[in-house]
Amino acid sequence: MKDLFSPDLSARIGSLTLQNPIMPASGTFSEDLADVFDLDVLGAHVLKTIMHGTRAGNPTPRVCDMQSGMINAIGIPSKGIDYFRDDMLPYWAGFRSPLVVSISAHSMDEFARLCSEVSLPGVTAIEANISCPNIEADGNAFAMRPDTTHEVVTRLRAETDLPLWAKLTPNTGTPVEVAQAAEAAGADALVTANTMLGMSIDIDSRRPRLGNVMGGMSGPAIKPIALRMTYQCARACNIPVIGCGGISTLSDVLEFLIAGARAVQIGTATFQSPTVMARLITELQGWMVARGIASLDEIIGSIEAPEAGVFE
């Protein structure tokens, strides 16, 4: 009998080889999803960002709808490092898919300490959410500037031997310089990107729709921004880039891979369709079979773009 063509979906992210390039975006993935699909089909499990101490999060309302997406200002409620180690880690370490722990902090010292404390057996990689406000830099996110990015990634690098992913923000005028600063400081991969800062107003009450006034836009509306950043960073850096932002269909996944992403993260789409990640893996495999594509290497970075690519 003739062998069925079976493409290789594995995605190489530095020293890690994931079984496929589909993984959840931090903050949009929880154990409830195990009720609707086998979580071990995923390339990796990326958890909601944890911070060191216990935190309540932002005032309500914390989410609102917008055309083609949503705005959230959850504010990273956290049960702290002890809860993560004693209650969450034993559950997540029981899966075959590698565990990526997202961490954040408002100061360099707290960030570095947390990075060291989460470098535990059962954790495969650390995703540094450097897109959250830094109180030492007047509330600007670390990843808004190359210098603060370099400083914080250097501090984190010194605290862990685990693969370190830097999750960047689209809220910067210098995405390439920020990405290169993260690479120079020792990041093993980049995640492009977090939410885009936005707001919404209820015209009857004339009040902001979010308790925090401003929040992070996600979903299809931000896809072109995240895709552009993924393309820019993949061209400018030598470390792998993981695309994230507005991905909900197979063609979205393929666009990010063609732009240079080695893997992708799915966030808001899971709220609309909890099984979307499992479906995308099956669809990607089917697409490769139909075209006789043997591995992701034939797709990743295959964009045919004019060399300049400059916007004027």
- Candidate list 132, 233, 237, 244, residue with the active-site label: 132
**Annotation says 132 is catalytic:** yes
Greatest pairwise CA separation for the chain in angstroms: 69
Phi then psi for 224, rounded to 5 degrees?
-60, -30
Q: Binding segment for ligand FMN among 151-159, 215-223, 229-237, 298-306 (CB under 6 A)?
A: 215-223
For position 245 contacting ligand FMN by CB under 6 A, the verdict is yes
Task: Express the helix, strand and coil content of the chain in percent, nearest 5 each.
Answer: 35, 20, 45
For position 102 contacting ligand FMN by CB under 6 A, the verdict is yes
Single residue of 218, 225, 260, 284 touching ligand FMN by CB under 6 A: 218
Residue 191, Cα to own-chain centre: how many angstroms? 5
Q: Rank residues 24 and 146 by Cβ distance to ligand FMN and give the closer one.
A: 24
Please state the closest distance from residue 131 (CB atom) to ligand FMN, in A.
Answer: 6
Q: At what angle do helices 223-236 and 175-184 cross, to 10 degrees?
A: 50
DSSP output for 126-159: EEEETTSB-GGGTT-BGGGSHHHHHHHHHHHHTT
For position 243 contacting ligand FMN by CB under 6 A, the verdict is no
Cα within 13 Å of Cα(112), Cβ side: 11
For position 192 contacting ligand FMN by CB under 6 A, the verdict is no
167 is in an annotated binding site: yes
Please state the closest distance from residue 219 (CB atom) to ligand FMN, in A.
Answer: 5
Single residue of 45, 48, 106, 157 touching ligand FMN by CB under 6 A: 48
Contact 97, 43 (CB under 8 A): yes
For position 212 contacting ligand FMN by CB under 6 A, the verdict is no
Provide the binding-site residues for ligand FMN, judged by CB under 6 A.
25-28, 48-49, 72, 74, 76, 102, 129, 167, 194-195, 218-219, 222, 244-247, 266-269
Show which residues are catalytic.
Answer: 132
